[in-house]
Chains A and B, each alone.
Chain A
Amino acid sequence: MTDMKWTRKDLIGLEDLSADEILFILDTAEEFKKVNERRVKKVPVLRGKTVINFFVEPSTRTRASFELAEQRLSADIVNMSASSSSLSKGETLLDTAKNIEALQVDIIVMRHAASGAHQFLAKNLRCGVINAGDGAHEHPTQGLLDIFTIRQKKKKIKGLNISIIGDILHSRVARSNIYALLKLGANVTIAGPPTLLPKQFEQIGVRVCDNLKDAVENADVVNLLRIQHERQRASYFPSIGEYASVYGINRESIKYVKRDALIMHPGPINRGVELESEFADGDQSVILEQVTNGLAVRMAVLYLVAGCLKTN
């Protein structure tokens, strides 16, 4: 295990972390993965700590994963959504968060539709802030669980060719993956409709590709992002059907994917759009393992952040 000390009370994004910090989280997650494989899946490391899951933007799977992670660490937890909070009564985010903090909550796990919302809160709060997704900016625990899964299967990250396909422009999953994978020495390719593919990522060393075949041919990992129907209405591409035929993994395009390449997806899948069912469920798919690993990664993040709180 990497010899280092974790010093952050917040996890805002993977862009801010060093390669060593990322590896340290992954190594810590390995330990928690073992906990999840026991008969009694619970450890007391967060006993007496309070965590609030504050989902200003709705989520089902990420929230469930965080909740389970917190419970398995023995934390006391409260769940709050935008509609159940005073945000719906016109209170500012900062006031809501300050009130949460005044209840002596130790960690706020938040999802928010505005990029940068977590950085804004973390600057203004003493308690820990964990980002469960901010706008189109980052989704660090998703990035970590993706990399954890890749490392588990491929035994390394450095030198791997990793292609991320889909709506990169609006994707926080893509950004967290890109920033962390580059730090760990992977070769990252992004591909998708040119309207959803920011060319500027070339400046940080990403290969930008508007052709699916070129993007996946040498890939060791193909990570497919969920395409949102709203994007079609906003005239980024003509139709979901056309997206599926040009950028989806189907019987035709699977020919370009290496036989040993991993197929990943952050979920929820639009079956038949990004990915045909037979490949979502096929032997190259690690989609459900991603979900399982997400739990271990979130336990690791909660554990590390809790260890740095000034309230200790």
Chain B
Amino acid sequence: MVRSKEVYNYILEKARVIDPKNGIDEVRDIGIENGVIAEPEKISNAKIINLEGLVIAPGFIDMHVHLREPGGKDKETIKTGTMAAAAGGFTTIVSMPNTNPLADNPSVIEYIKSHCELSAYVNVLPSGCISKGSEGIEMSPIGGLKKAGIVAITDDGKCVQNHELMKHVLMYSKTFGLPVLDHCQDPYLAEGGLVSEGYWSSIKGLRGIPVAAETIMVSRDIILAEAAGWKVHIQHVSAGDSVDMIREAQKKKIRVSAEVTPHHIALTDECIKDYDTNFKMNPPLRTEEDRQKLIKGLQDGTISVIATDHAPHTTTDKLVEFAYAPFGVIGLETAVCVCLTELYHKDLLSLTELVSKFTVGPASVLGLDIGSIEIGKKADLTIFNPDEKYTIDSGKFYSKSRNTSFNGKEVKGRVIGTIISGRFVFSQIDGIKGTF
């Protein structure tokens, strides 16, 4: 990882510290010594930074990011993608394996790791493919991928259709403690689909992707996770019915978890009425009723993770007929402010609940001991102002791409600083410089 050479000791004063894992929500000082959290009183020669009015949280985790490298440098690179992550308040991201070449073998993981060592600004945890070539036929070398350093397996963008293979994958990955992340979609029902099947697809003459394309596979995964006794994680849930199914499964102690994206929380399929390709993503935006059920899932804990599905595409790729544009929108630099605006300021989630979806939530799915603020642990911290208002301007993004659904949106809540291993990687604080 790219790091500034100098390491300072800091005392971060007077901020509201929110650490959901440890049940902390109070104004207190935080000490950082040699890159780790320390007792403020015991640190010598520390820089004191007054953060009154701001919130300090454990470093945010985004477990669904397409960095596009290798193979898609015109859209994003490890460098620009991780700069965007840092600017968005994320200290750790999980990269998706649908690069070119695919991350379905240890050598690609080695490549990604060595590139991250040179040019990443945040912690990048790679994921690997479930199946060779993401073809859904043969298992990828899951043990070898684990040794190479992956934290999860997924065929994201595709969905394993062979139920027996999926069952075996769930049984096998348990040995390695690797969660299985699934983009739940039946290809026959979704064939040729561009937007959610419903009112707007009918009115606008766009082919629809029915809710059933998702729920059929969610139910399949729940059934197989129960049989295998292992963790399945449903990526970017879009349908309200999926939330209901996941909730019922969790009641039965089946190990199923779920994530939702900021765009599925904030937007509905009405957004496609002008054929703007920055609202074309997979799974598609659904109805207001679905949106409400997703929020309910966040409130009652059925959905424990907010993840961006940051999917960069060039302006040229997106500036075409709706049917021909690629699916996907970027999200790293807008996730936190959009969620503060749509969930916290609308009294739908408390700050602690919201922070948990970016910290202990994903850490727990991934089985990693991160996402909290504890003495002796790496000082990965996210600092934000929950009340600062600004207008999102995609022209100022660090990401190489501009395909956001939120350009021009007025938001309330802004990331002010991102600290990784005690170093300010991103900073809007007077007198404190970031790494880039």
Which residue numbers of A lie inside 8 Å of B, CB to CB? Answer: 15, 92-94, 112-117, 119-120, 134-138, 169, 172, 175, 198, 200-201, 203-204
A138 to B207, CA, bound (A): 14
Residues from chain A with a CB closer than 8 A to the CB of B199 are: 200, 203
Residue of A nearest to B319 (CB): A94
Q: Is B222 an interface residue (CB 8 A)?
A: no
B205/A93 in contact, CB under 8 A: no
Given contacts A115-B275, A116-B275, A119-B275, contact A94 B202 (CB under 8 A): no
Can you list 5 residue pairs at the A/B interface with Cβ under 8 Å?
Answer: A92-B316, A94-B320, A115-B206, A135-B205, A136-B205
Residue of B nearest to A138 (CB): B205
Residue of A115, A117, A137, A175 most packed against chain B (CB within 10 A): A115
How far is the CB of B342 from the nearest CB of chain A, in Å?
26
**Among A94, A119, A204, which residue has its beta carbon within 8 angstroms of that of B203?**
A204
Residue of B198, B202, B206 most packed against chain A (CB within 10 A): B202
Q: Is B347 an interface residue (CB 8 A)?
A: no
A120 to B204, CA, bound (A): 13
Given contacts A135-B323, A200-B198, A200-B199, contact A116 B316 (CB under 8 A): no
A198 to B204, CA, bound (A): 12
Residue of A15, A120, A204 most packed against chain B (CB within 10 A): A120
B205/A120 in contact, CB under 8 A: no
Which residue numbers of B lie inside 8 Å of A, CB to CB? Answer: 198-199, 201-207, 274-275, 316, 319-324
Residues from chain A with a CB closer than 8 A to the CB of B319 are: 92, 94
How far is the CB of A199 from the nearest CB of chain B, in Å?
8
Given contacts A92-B316, A120-B275, A200-B198, contact A115 B203 (CB under 8 A): no
A135 to B322, CA, bound (A): 11
Residues from chain A with a CB closer than 8 A to the CB of B201 are: 198
A114 to B204, CA, bound (A): 11
Q: What are the 10 closest A-B residue pairs judged by CB atoms, nearest first?
A: A116-B275, A137-B205, A136-B205, A114-B321, A198-B202, A114-B323, A200-B202, A115-B205, A200-B199, A116-B322
Residue of B nearest to A123 (CB): B274
Residue of B nearest to A204 (CB): B203
**Among B202, B316, B321, which residue has its beta carbon within 8 angstroms of that of A112?**
B321
Residues from chain A with a CB closer than 8 A to the CB of B203 are: 15, 175, 200, 204
Residues from chain A with a CB closer than 8 A to the CB of B320 are: 92-94, 120
A138 to B206, CA, bound (A): 11
Residues from chain B with a CB closer than 8 A to the CB of A136 are: 205-207
Residues from chain B with a CB closer than 8 A to the CB of A115 are: 204-206, 275, 322-323
How far is the CB of B278 from the nearest CB of chain A, in Å?
12
A187 to B205, CA, bound (A): 21
Residues from chain B with a CB closer than 8 A to the CB of A94 are: 319-320
Pair count A-B, CB < 8 A: 58
Residue of B nearest to A56 (CB): B321
Residue of A nearest to B277 (CB): A120
Residues from chain A with a CB closer than 8 A to the CB of B275 are: 115-116, 119-120
How far is the CB of B400 from the nearest CB of chain A, in Å?
20
A116/B204 in contact, CB under 8 A: yes
How far is the CB of B56 from the nearest CB of chain A, in Å?
44
How far is the CB of A260 from the nearest CB of chain B, in Å?
32
Residues from chain A with a CB closer than 8 A to the CB of B316 are: 92
Residues from chain A with a CB closer than 8 A to the CB of B207 are: 136
A93 to B316, CA, bound (A): 11
Residue of A112, A113, A114 most packed against chain B (CB within 10 A): A114
Residues from chain B with a CB closer than 8 A to the CB of A114 are: 321-324
A116/B202 in contact, CB under 8 A: no
- Given A136-B207, A137-B204, A201-B202, 13 additional A-B pairs, CB 8 A: A94-B319, A113-B323, A114-B324, A115-B205, A116-B206, A116-B323, A119-B274, A120-B320, A120-B321, A120-B322, A137-B205, A175-B203, A204-B203
Residues from chain B with a CB closer than 8 A to the CB of A200 are: 198-199, 202-203
How far is the CB of B280 from the nearest CB of chain A, in Å?
11
How far is the CB of B207 from the nearest CB of chain A, in Å?
8
A198 to B196, CA, bound (A): 13
Residues from chain B with a CB closer than 8 A to the CB of A116 are: 204, 206, 275, 321-323
Residues from chain B with a CB closer than 8 A to the CB of A112 are: 321
Residue of A nearest to B208 (CB): A198
Residue of B205, B274, B316 most packed against chain A (CB within 10 A): B205
A114 to B206, CA, bound (A): 8
Residues from chain B with a CB closer than 8 A to the CB of A169 are: 202
A138 to B316, CA, bound (A): 26
A137 to B273, CA, bound (A): 11
A200 to B198, CA, bound (A): 7
A113 to B206, CA, bound (A): 11
A204 to B204, CA, bound (A): 13
Residues from chain B with a CB closer than 8 A to the CB of A120 are: 275, 320-322
A201 to B207, CA, bound (A): 15
A175 to B203, CA, bound (A): 8
A175 to B200, CA, bound (A): 13
A201 to B203, CA, bound (A): 8
A112 to B205, CA, bound (A): 13
A84 to B319, CA, bound (A): 22
How far is the CB of B210 from the nearest CB of chain A, in Å?
12
A201 to B201, CA, bound (A): 11
A172/B205 in contact, CB under 8 A: yes
How far is the CB of B192 from the nearest CB of chain A, in Å?
9
Residues from chain B with a CB closer than 8 A to the CB of A93 are: 320-321
Residues from chain A with a CB closer than 8 A to the CB of B274 are: 119
How far is the CB of A95 from the nearest CB of chain B, in Å?
10
A92 to B323, CA, bound (A): 13
How far is the CB of A196 from the nearest CB of chain B, in Å?
12
B198/A175 in contact, CB under 8 A: no
A169 to B322, CA, bound (A): 18
A94 to B316, CA, bound (A): 10
Residues from chain B with a CB closer than 8 A to the CB of A119 are: 274-275
Residues from chain A with a CB closer than 8 A to the CB of B321 are: 93, 112, 114, 116-117, 120
